[in-house]
């Protein structure tokens, strides 16, 4: 009893996010996912550095017809390939494709493109989700004649959830022609519902609390109350849905590539390397296995990271 | 109770209205203004544009366009660009083929996801739990078509059997038993592949729900009363653990169209997803737009069903309206 009284106040000084973080670190699978995501980020940035520009260190677009379909770890044919076209590393680490392009360089280039598809799409989705969720939560009771703001926005969320997301994305991309920006925007526009719901729920729960009343009494404007005082409380669920959203966007991009509506060449993404490579599955297995496994690993990492965050931030599921 | 029904119905009506507006609005994404004709782009020919303008009354004001679109759709006046057949019967015909795939997939999902989710929740943090977590997430993380190719190659090379299409080609004269077995076999791979994502998502959902239930007060009370573990888990906890069954009922319906595009394309399955993909490839806008609308409508019906079922199985929902 005496001991409990002594440790009680100390325990209270630990903030909830600190508690969540501790619980997260104990989940080894989730930590592995987080580390893989970080590694992927570094690889993607590194890939951008070495494959962009006029004289890239590793040129993903260098065509060497004499050296097509070389398996991983094979040496270039020095008689047939021009000296300035030889791979900088002196070896095809991950083989070459049907045009003799270095798969290693293409994977490095694609890492950044795939990652930016994920990040931009999720950025758009989160922004829309915060705006809609914030308005529905904070101004929900305002009337618009036939219905309230909240009814309107929850209605919109229901509508957005009703459409078959993938087919709608396919429709819009097919109508507007596939370009990397169209794909990012369309994926973003069709995946904001989760964030909007979480933000709305969080704000509804906090709207009547004293600190919000105090802020309003001080004359703080509505948008500022939402962004500065309410939104920080919804960071956890937003972070979770963003992490899972990046995984989903990378997968959606690869599925679009498979159907011929993905990011068009010359940009390489892991999705279009995979969908081009599958045509040569029996002649050149590495063109399918390498990007396919890479997508599997990175999407898995984001999913496990997100799931770990979800469990850690949910006090009822948290394990101490 | 009545209040709840009315409120649900009112909400669904609004949703239906928005759905119809958005399905219709997709039309305006397509080339509608002459300025958008790009001579370099073979898709936007003037003939195509003219046909498009006529089919969707683009010279009328917006609200007339909207009303005319749904009038044409339901009177069978809206016809496919490709073969000039009314759109709705064409879709219904294909739904039939997809339905088998969908039913087989859904049964697989339920049979696998519930036991899996409940077991992993009860044995949280066991090796089984950790392994299933990773495997289940791997299943949703793998690009569907990649998994499909690997599986097809594996099955064809190991068993030397035909897996593509509705039935084996060139065996039309065989007896009933044979063709029934043949059709069932052709259902196996696509439905297993279609079910993987569903199994993964639903089992996580069931696990989360079951975890919440297990840690809730009434389960602790049941334990404190001295009930044995089996009664606590299977009689008290399981009932609430089964709630995702009802929730998912509404959410699996979009998979009928969206989820089946890739699987049906790979397996040359003449279903609704493939119809949609073919329509997109051939710029058959009436079909594409109607498919989006029909799918959203089906989902709406699904969520309505799940709302009503919720009312039956979960008294807390019914009480919500009274407050």
Cβ distance of A170 and B277 shorter than 8 Å? yes
pLDDT, tens digit, for every residue of A160-201?
888 888 888 888 888 777 888 889 999 999 889 889 988 998
Cβ neighbours for A167, distance < 8 A, ≥ 6 positions apart: B257, B258, B261, B273, B276, B291, B292, B295
Q: What is the residue range of A81's domain? A: 17-313
Contact status of B291 with chain A (Cβ, < 8 Å): yes
Q: How confident is the model at residue B34 (pLDDT cuts 50, 70, 90)?
A: very low
Is a pLDDT exceeding 80 seen at residue A316?
no
First-to-last CA distance in chain B?
12
Closest CB to A255 among B144, B211, B297: B144
Does residue A210 lie in a domain region? yes
The pLDDT assigned to A168 comes to 85
Cβ distance of A258 and B262 shorter than 8 Å? yes
Q: Which of B124, B137, B153, B200 to mutate to test the interface with A (most CBs of A within 10 A)?
A: B137
Contact status of A306 with chain B (Cβ, < 8 Å): no
How far is A276 from A110, CA to CA, in rounded Å?
A: 13
Q: How confident is the model at residue A39 (pLDDT cuts 50, 70, 90)?
A: very high
Cβ neighbours for A177, distance < 8 A, ≥ 6 positions apart: B41, B43
pLDDT, tens digit, for every residue of A83-121?
777 777 778 888 888 888 888 888 988 899 899 999 999
Q: A290: closest CA among A115, A107, A110?
A: A107
Does residue A8 lie in a domain region? no
Does residue A7 lie in a domain region? no
Does residue A2 lie in a domain region? no
* Helical residues (DSSP H) of chain A, grouped into ranges: 2-12, 16-26, 28-51, 103-138, 149-162, 165-176, 180-189, 193-206, 210-217, 222-224, 235-258, 270-277, 286-313
Chain length of chain B: 323
- pLDDT above 70 as % of chain A: 94
CATH code at position A257: 1.10.3720.10
- Find residues 106-125 of chain B whose CB sits inside 8 Å of chain A: 125
Question: Taking phi first (over 0 means left), then psi (-120 to 50 degrees means alpha), and beta for anything else, what does residue A265 get?
Answer: beta
In degrees, rounded to 5, the angle at the alpha carbon of residue B114 between the alpha carbons of residues B109 and B118 is 150
Q: A110: closest CA among A281, A271, A277?
A: A271
Cβ distance of A259 and B296 shorter than 8 Å? no
Q: Which of A164, A172, A270 to mutate to test the interface with B (most CBs of B within 10 A)?
A: A164
Q: How confident is the model at residue B72 (pLDDT cuts 50, 70, 90)?
A: confident
Cβ distance of B18 and A159 shorter than 8 Å? yes
Q: Which of A117, A167, A186 to mutate to test the interface with B (most CBs of B within 10 A)?
A: A167
Is a pLDDT exceeding 80 seen at residue B237?
yes
Output the CA–CA distances (angstroms, integers) from residue B205 to A116, B138, B200, B210, B247, in the order listed. Answer: 29, 16, 9, 9, 10
The pLDDT assigned to A298 comes to 93
Does residue A9 lie in a domain region? no
The pLDDT assigned to A4 comes to 46
Cβ distance of A304 and B257 shorter than 8 Å? no
Say what the ipTM of the complex is: 0.83
Query: In angstroms, what separates the C-alpha of A164 from chain B's closest C-alpha?
Result: 5
Partners of B275 in the beta sheet?
none
pLDDT, tens digit, for every residue of A292-302?
999 999 999 99
Contact status of A41 with chain B (Cβ, < 8 Å): no
Does residue A214 lie in a domain region? yes
Average pLDDT over residues A204-214: 87
The pLDDT assigned to B322 comes to 44
Cβ distance of A164 and B259 shorter than 8 Å? yes
Is a pLDDT exceeding 50 seen at residue A51?
yes
Average pLDDT, chain A: 84
Instruction: Produce one character per residue of A281-306: b if its CB has 16 or more CB atoms within 10 Å, e if not.
Output: eeebebbbbbbbebbbebbbbbbbbb
Cβ distance of A167 and B130 shorter than 8 Å? no
The pLDDT assigned to B35 comes to 46
Environment class of B316 (CB within 10 Å of its CB; exposed 0-12, middle 13-18, buried 19+): exposed
How far is A155 from A161, CA to CA, in rounded Å?
A: 10
Q: Structural domain tally of chain A?
A: 1
The pLDDT assigned to B320 comes to 54
More confident residue, B146 or B51: B146
The pLDDT assigned to A23 comes to 82
Q: How confident is the model at residue B124 (pLDDT cuts 50, 70, 90)?
A: confident
First-to-last CA distance in chain A?
21
Does residue A6 lie in a domain region? no
The pLDDT assigned to B43 comes to 60
Does residue A1 lie in a domain region? no
In degrees, rounded to 5, the angle at the alpha carbon of residue B249 between the alpha carbons of residues B244 and B252 is 110
Contact status of B244 with chain A (Cβ, < 8 Å): no
Closest CB to B143 among A162, A170, A292: A292
For tokens 């079922």, the residue is B309
Is a pLDDT exceeding 70 seen at residue B264?
yes
């Amino acid at each position: 009893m005496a001991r409990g009284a002594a440790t009680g106040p100390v325990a209270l000084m630990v903030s909830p996010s600190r508690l969540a973080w501790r619980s997260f670190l104990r989940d080894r699978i989730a930590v592995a996912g987080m580390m893989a995501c970080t590694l992927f980020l570094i690889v993607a940035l590194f890939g951008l550095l070495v494959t962009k520009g006029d004289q890239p260190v590793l040129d993903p677009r260098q065509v060497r017809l004499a050296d097509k379909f070389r398996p991983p770890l094979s040496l270039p044919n020095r008689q047939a390939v021009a000296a300035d076209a030889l791979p900088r590393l002196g070896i095809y680490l991950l083989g070459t494709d049907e045009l003799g392009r270095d798969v290693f360089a293409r994977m490095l280039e694609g890492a950044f493109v795939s990652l930016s598809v994920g990040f931009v799409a999720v950025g758009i989705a989160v922004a829309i989700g915060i705006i809609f969720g914030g308005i529905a939560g904070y101004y929900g009771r305002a009337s618009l004649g036939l219905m309230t703001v909240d009814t309107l926005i929850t209605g919109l969320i229901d509508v957005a959830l009703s459409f078959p997301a993938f087919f709608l994305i396919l429709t819009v991309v097919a109508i507007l022609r596939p370009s990397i920006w169209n794909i990012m925007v369309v994926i973003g526009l069709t995946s904001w519902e989760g964030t909007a719901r979480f933000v709305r729920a969080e704000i509804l729960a906090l709207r009547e609390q004293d600190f919000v009343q105090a802020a309003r009494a001080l004359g703080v404007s509505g948008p500022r109350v939402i962004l500065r005082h309410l939104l920080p409380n919804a960071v956890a669920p937003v972070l979770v849905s963003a992490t899972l959203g990046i995984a989903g966007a990378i997968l959606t991009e690869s599925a679009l590539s498979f159907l011929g509506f993905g990011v068009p060449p010359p940009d390489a993404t892991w999705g279009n390397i995979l969908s081009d490579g599958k045509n040569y599955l029996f002649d050149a297995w590495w063109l399918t296995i390498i990007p396919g496994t890479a997508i599997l690993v990175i999407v898995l990492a984001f999913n496990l990271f997100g799931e770990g965050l979800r469990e850690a931030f949910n006090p009822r599921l948290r394990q101490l | 109770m009545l209040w709840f029904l009315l409120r649900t119905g009112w909400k669904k009506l609004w949703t239906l209205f928005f759905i119809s507006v958005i399905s219709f609005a997709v039309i305006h994404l397509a080339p509608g203004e002459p300025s958008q004709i790009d001579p370099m782009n073979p898709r936007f020919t003037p003939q195509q544009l003219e046909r498009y303008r006529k089919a969707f009354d683009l010279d009328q004001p917006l609200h007339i366009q909207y009303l005319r679109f749904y009038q044409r759709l339901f009177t069978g006046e809206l016809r496919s660009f490709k073969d000039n057949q009314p759109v709705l019967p064409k879709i219904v015909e294909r739904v039939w083929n997809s339905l088998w795939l969908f039913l087989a997939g859904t049964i697989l999902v339920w049979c696998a996801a519930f036991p899996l989710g409940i077991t992993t929740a009860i044995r949280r943090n066991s090796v089984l739990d950790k392994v299933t977590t990773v495997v289940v997430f791997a299943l949703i993380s793998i690009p569907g078509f990649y998994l499909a190719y690997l599986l097809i190659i594996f099955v064809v090379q190991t068993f030397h059997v035909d897996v593509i299409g509705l039935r084996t080609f060139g065996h039309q004269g065989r007896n009933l038993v044979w063709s029934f077995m043949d059709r069932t076999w052709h259902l196996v791979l696509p439905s297993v592949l279609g079910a993987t994502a569903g199994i993964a998502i639903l089992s996580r959902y069931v696990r989360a729900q079951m975890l919440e239930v297990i840690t809730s007060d009434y389960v602790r009370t049941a334990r404190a009363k001295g009930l044995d573990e089996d009664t606590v888990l299977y009689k008290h906890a399981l009932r609430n653990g089964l709630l995702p069954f009802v929730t998912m009922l509404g959410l699996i319906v979009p998979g009928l169209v969206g989820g089946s595009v890739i699987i049906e394309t790979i397996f040359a399955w003449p279903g609704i997803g493939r119809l949609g993909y073919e329509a997109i490839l051939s710029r058959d806008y009436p079909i594409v737009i109607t498919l989006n609308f029909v799918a959203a409508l089906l989902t709406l019906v699904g969520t309505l069903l799940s709302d009503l079922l919720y009312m039956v199985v979960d008294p807390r929902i019914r009480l919500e309206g009274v407050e």
